[in-house]
């Protein structure tokens, strides 16, 4: 009878489970489990790499945005007017004067091009990681001594400079008489290290060592603004522009936007390459499913003679492919999240066993990770989708088998 035909989903699920767990020859079973393991390892690796890349992006963004200004107003003609304009804005956490010029440091060990960045003591205290990395007493020394300079630790080491050494700073000045260098002398009072770009290119000098007018003659001066939410910098810049159309305003996204774009591009390329590995692993399910179809051909023929339609046969093998995919993706996702969460413990263990220091020469004391739900969703969706697609061909082949030939 038609109603007695085994053509419902639950029956297909039952048969798929039986086919997967019973009656397979050892080689077919091995191929199936190798497909699961390969898929799981690919998903785990992709999850780990995506989490680490996101972690580096977030950590670098956090460090930079604590140091660099979120908005910079260059040489305002009426500085007091700008301060009054911005005084009541609740988005702003601090405003201070700055000086910036291209220059070079000279020492017995050599010459190094640098950005010369001037702030007063209050401005230095707003530089987050730089301020936090200073030695005890260095801030008070910077505040009290007008000829003080701070350098990134890597730069000081490259130039062979020690605390207390004199540092010659050359700034190229262009005026009506032509281009000429101006030599300034400072004393190194401390070094800083934040693990980001400023360590290698920013020399911080005391703005109080000269009058504001004198600094204006040497380079760019203006106001630097820090916000509670850096993402609002562009909007605030547009708001100021509406009130002061002639103001020259730069946001952090203009200065460092390309750096973060490059990091995102690198993450995307790594993501795509490893996703290709996952796709290849997922399509390896085809070979296991094809072997299963051959191994279960008699069972398929029996089902057909019992009245099972081609749609049910296809469903059985699609469910099998989905089951293998679900196991592989699930195990891989759990393994990847575990590795991402415990990556620093694992690295410490490897360092103890091998004696190698894997993070030596790096800005980072430990590997930052950031497990993003959207990354996990993309990885799981693509991997599982590939498993379903790779099961279509074996399912169609199983549905076309002729029971009369098989049972002859």
DSSP 81-114: HHHHHHTT-TTEEEEEEEEEEEEEEEETTEEEEE
Residue 336 burial (CB count, 10 A): 26
* For residue 361, pLDDT beyond 70: no
* Residue ranges of E strands in 135-289: 148-152, 166-175, 178-192, 202-206, 220-227, 248-251
The alpha carbon of residue 165 and the mean position of all alpha carbons in its chain are separated, in whole angstroms, by 38
The mean pLDDT value for 378-386 works out to: 88
| pTM of the predicted model as reported, rounded to 2 decimal places | 0.69
The pLDDT value given to residue 3: 44
* pLDDT (tens digit per residue) in 57-66: 888 777 778 7
pLDDT of residue 331: 94
Average pLDDT over residues 389-395: 82
Rounded average pLDDT over 265-275: 80
φ, ψ dihedrals at 225, nearest 5°: -120, 130
The percent of residues above 70 in pLDDT, for the chain, comes to 85
What pLDDT band is residue 213 in, cutting at 50, 70 and 90? low
Per-residue confidence at 358, pLDDT binned at 50, 70, 90? low
Q: Which residue has the higher pLDDT, 348 or 188?
A: 188
Max Cα distance, the chain (Å): 106
H-helix or E-strand containing 74?
strand 71-74
Q: Which residue has the tokens 């702003």?
A: 92
- Tokens read off for 135: 């030695």
Dihedral through CA 247, CA 253, CA 257, CA 263, nearest 10? 170
Return phi, psi of residue 193, to 5°: -150, 110
Over the stretch 2-30, which tens digit does the pLDDT of each residue have? 444 555 767 777 777 776 666 556 776 77
Write down the pLDDT at residue 176.
66
Q: How far is CA 105 from CA 63, 101, 152, 375, in A?
A: 25, 12, 12, 44
User: What distance lies between CA 379 and its chain's CA centroid?
Assistant: 16
Task: Return the higher-pLDDT residue of 238 and 310.
Answer: 238
Above 90 in pLDDT, residue 335? Answer: yes
Residues contacting 229, CB < 8 A, separation 6+: 91
Residue of 372 and 85 predicted with greater confidence: 372
Question: pLDDT tens digits for 117-127?
Answer: 888 888 888 88
pLDDT above 80: residue 141: yes
Cα–Cα distances in Å, from 196 out to 130, 228, 357, 382? 11, 21, 20, 35
Mean pLDDT of the chain: 80
Which percentage of the chain shows pLDDT scores above 90?
9
| Nearest C-alpha neighbor of 231 from the set 260, 269, 264 | 260
């Amino acid at each position: 009878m038609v109603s007695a035909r085994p053509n419902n989903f639950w029956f297909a699920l039952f048969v798929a489970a039986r086919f997967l767990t019973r009656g397979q020859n050892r080689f077919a079973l091995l191929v199936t489990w190798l497909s699961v393991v390969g898929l799981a390892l690919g998903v785990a690796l992709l999850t780990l790499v995506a989490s680490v890349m996101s972690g580096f992006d977030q950590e670098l963004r956090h460090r930079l945005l604590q140091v660099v200004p979120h908005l910079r107003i260059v040489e305002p003609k009426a500085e007091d007017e700008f301060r009054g304009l911005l005084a009541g804005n609740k988005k702003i956490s601090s405003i201070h004067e700055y000086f910036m010029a291209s220059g070079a440091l000279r020492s017995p060990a050599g010459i190094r091009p640098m950005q010369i960045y001037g702030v007063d003591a209050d401005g230095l205290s707003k530089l987050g990681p730089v301020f936090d990395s200073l030695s005890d007493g260095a801030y008070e020394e910077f505040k009290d001594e007008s000829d003080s300079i701070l350098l990134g630790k890597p730069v000081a080491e490259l130039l062979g400079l020690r605390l207390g050494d004199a540092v010659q700073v050359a700034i190229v000045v262009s005026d009506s008489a032509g281009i000429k260098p101006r030599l300034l002398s400072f004393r190194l009072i401390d070094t800083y290290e934040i693990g980001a770009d400023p360590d290698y290119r920013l020399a911080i000098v005391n703005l109080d060592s000269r009058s504001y007018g004198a600094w204006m003659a040497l380079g760019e001066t203006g106001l630097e603004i820090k916000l509670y939410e850096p993402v609002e910098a562009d909007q605030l810049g547009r708001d100021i522009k509406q009130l002061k159309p002639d103001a020259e305003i730069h946001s952090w996204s203009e200065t460092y936007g390309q750096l973060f774009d490059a990091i995102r591009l690198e993450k995307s390329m790594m993501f795509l390459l490893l996703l290709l590995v996952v796709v290849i692993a997922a399509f390896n399910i085809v070979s296991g499913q094809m072997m299963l179809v051959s191994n279960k051909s008699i069972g398929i023929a029996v089902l057909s003679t019992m009245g099972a339609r081609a749609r049910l046969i296809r469903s059985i093998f699609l469910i099998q492919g989905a089951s293998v995919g679900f196991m592989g993706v699930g195990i891989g996702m759990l393994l990847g999240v575990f590795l991402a969460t415990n990556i620093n413990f694992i690295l410490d263990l490897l360092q103890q066993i091998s004696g190698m220091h894997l993070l030596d020469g790096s800005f980072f004391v430990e590997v930052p990770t950031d497990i993003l739900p959207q990354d996990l969703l993309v990885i799981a969706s693509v991997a599982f989708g590939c498993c379903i697609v790779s099961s279509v061909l074996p399912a169609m082949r199983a549905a076309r088998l002729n029971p009369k030939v098989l049972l002859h």
